[in-house]
Structure formats: C-alpha cells, structure tokens
C-alpha cells in the first residue's frame, strides 16, 4: 500500500503564508517576487525632499533678516520744531544777512513815480527869444498812470514851457490842467509818457502821529533824485510865506532835509506811500537853506486838486 506524501511543517507554513494551492498542488511552493517602486513614486519622493529643503531655506532667510533688523539701532524720531527754534533761525539770519534800511525800501517803492519838473522861460540875454532858459527846478509825483502829475504851483507858474523827466529818463513837455492856489499846488498832464509808467500809492493821513518816520524824495538844487529821512515833527501847522502874501494851514511838519528843488516832491511813509506834497521850508533868516523844519500839504488836499476822490 502506497504511503501518502507527507509535508513538513516548515513547508506547510511557507505554503500557507504564500497562499499555495493546497495539498493537491504538485508544483513546489515559492514566495512572490518583491515589488519594485514605480518611477512616479521616486519622483514624488525627490519633489517632497526638495520642497522641505526650500521651506527650511526660506525660514532660515527670514530668521537672518529678523536678526539683522534687531541688530541695527532704530533712528530716533525727529524732534518737533518749536518757537524757540524758529526765533533762533530768524536771529541767525538777521546776524548774517545785511538787510536794506527802511528808508531805502521807501525810496525804492516811490522812485518810479517821481519826476523832475523844470519851468522854462525866455532868456533876458536872448533878444530873439529862440532859446528858453531854466526859471525854476522842482519835483513832481505821478498820481495817475496816464501822466497826471502833482507839483507846486510856484515851480511852474509863469513858465513859458514846462518839461518833465520821468524815472526812466524819458523827457516830455507838460501842460497845467488844474491849480489849487490856497495850497500852492498845480496839476500837470505830460504829453508823452513811458509805456510802463507807475503811479504812486496814496495813503490817508488820518492816523499819522509825531514821531512817525518819513522820507522826502526830490531834486534839491536840481540834484537827484535824492532822498532824505526823518520824522513827522507835528501836524496841522500853518505856514506863512516870507513876503506874507500867502498863508497855508493844516500842513504836515517834518524834519527830513528839504531844500529848493524839493518843492512838489512826495513825502512818503516807510512803505513808500505818499502822505503829502513838500511845499515849503522854514526860513527865519531868509536863507534858502534847510534849518530843520519843512512843510507838506496833506495828500487828501493835494489829490482833491487833481479830482482824485478823498480816502
């Protein structure tokens, strides 16, 4: 009798584990071949590793930047500007910069409107009368940019021809268009004017007071234009002419130097605004020189002679 085939326990265990066919299987049992990782699995592993390295690199870079920012000291906040700082800056500027005087600024403001006025007459030596000679020299100020000029009547009265010279050197003849005998004023109209003629700014005398600074601008003895500075000495003064023929009330008294030739010129504030027309100087000894007292007609009266409305 044929004995049945026997299987060892090791064989059986291997067979059972590997999922063999059973006792009737005549083929020897064998373990399945190990599985090899696919190509896509290897690529995924490499990509995951690369991402991890990249992430740690970014983290490291951020940590380095944070460390550097903490190592650099912060700039202190700017200190707010105070009034003391401003005052110090202004004081420093005043100490290191030469500024024009108040009188210089006043002169610069009024000079474009100041004119030289000359009254011409027939020379006694010239019998044929073909040549005019200077009879008088004075000053005028443009109050309307169309060539309207204020001056003193005694500068142009009796003149055969009146000539005016503007600040830019232009010369023109002029005609008398109005007079104010009681204030010794005359209004002239120039026949030719500069293209850029500037009229003076007129200012009310209502708030003037003794001690206020003033500048007189004109052509003393024909020299000029010249400027002299001083103060208002008094208000509502009365002047009587040396001959006693005329008395002018309500005048501004000032001590800025004025001489023959200043007549008709402007008396101005430190802003260069006209407050009066220089009309006379006090001559107790009949000397035609300045002794410290000059008089000007308030601009309200002077402007009225030219038909300019009062302030």
Catalytic annotation, residues:
154, 184, 263
- For residue 267 the two structure tokens come to 């008396």
Q: Is 227 left (phi over 0), alpha (psi -120 to 50) or beta?
A: beta
Distances 251 to 30, 42, 235, 242 between C-alpha atoms, Å: 142, 115, 6, 16
Who contacts 299 (Cβ-Cβ below 8 Å, separation ≥6)?
Answer: 202, 203, 204, 205, 274, 275, 276, 277
Phi, psi (deg, nearest 5) at residue 277: -115, 120
Q: Is 257 left (phi over 0), alpha (psi -120 to 50) or beta?
A: beta
CA distance 70 to 90: 41
Who contacts 309 (Cβ-Cβ below 8 Å, separation ≥6)?
Answer: 303
Q: Which residues pair with 267 in a beta bridge?
A: 216, 276
Would you say 277 and 154 are in contact if contact means Cβ atoms under 8 Å apart? no
Instruction: Give the helix ranges, DSSP H, for the chain.
Output: 9-18, 39-71, 83-96, 102-110, 153-156, 299-305
Instruction: Give the helix ranges, DSSP H, for 111-246.
Output: 153-156
């Amino acid at each position: 009798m044929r004995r049945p085939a026997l299987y060892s326990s090791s064989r059986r265990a291997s067979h059972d584990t590997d999922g063999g066919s059973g006792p009737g299987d005549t083929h020897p049992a064998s373990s399945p071949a190990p599985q090899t990782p696919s190509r896509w699995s290897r690529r995924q592993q490499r990509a995951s590793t690369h991402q991890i390295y990249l992430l740690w690199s970014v983290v490291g870079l951020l940590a380095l930047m944070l460390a550097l920012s903490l190592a650099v000291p912060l700039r202190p906040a700017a200190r707010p500007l105070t009034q003391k700082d401003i005052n110090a800056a202004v004081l420093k500027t005043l100490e290191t910069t030469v500024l024009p005087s108040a009188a210089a600024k006043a002169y610069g403001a009024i000079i474009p409107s100041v004119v030289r006025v000359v009254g011409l007459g027939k020379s006694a030596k010239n019998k044929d009368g073909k040549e005019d000679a200077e009879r008088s020299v004075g000053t005028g100020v443009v109050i309307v940019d169309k060539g309207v000029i204020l001056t003193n009547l005694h500068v142009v009265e009796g003149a055969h021809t009146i000539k005016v010279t503007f600040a830019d050197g232009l010369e023109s003849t002029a005609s008398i268009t109005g007079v104010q005998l009681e204030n010794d004023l005359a209004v002239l109209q120039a026949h030719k004017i500069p293209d850029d003629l500037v009229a003076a700014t007129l200012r009310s005398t209502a708030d003037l007071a003794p001690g206020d600074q003033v500048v007189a601008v004109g052509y003393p003895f024909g020299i000029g234009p010249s400027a002299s500075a001083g103060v208002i000495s008094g208000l509502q003064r009365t002047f009587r002419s040396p001959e006693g023929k005329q008395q002018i009330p309500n005048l501004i008294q000032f001590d800025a130097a004025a001489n023959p030739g200043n007549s008709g010129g402007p008396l101005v504030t430190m802003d260069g605004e006209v407050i009066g027309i220089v009309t006379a100087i006090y001559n107790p000894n009949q000397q035609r020189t300045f002794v410290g007292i000059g008089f000007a007609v308030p601009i309200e009266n002077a402007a009225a002679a030219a038909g300019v409305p009062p302030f």
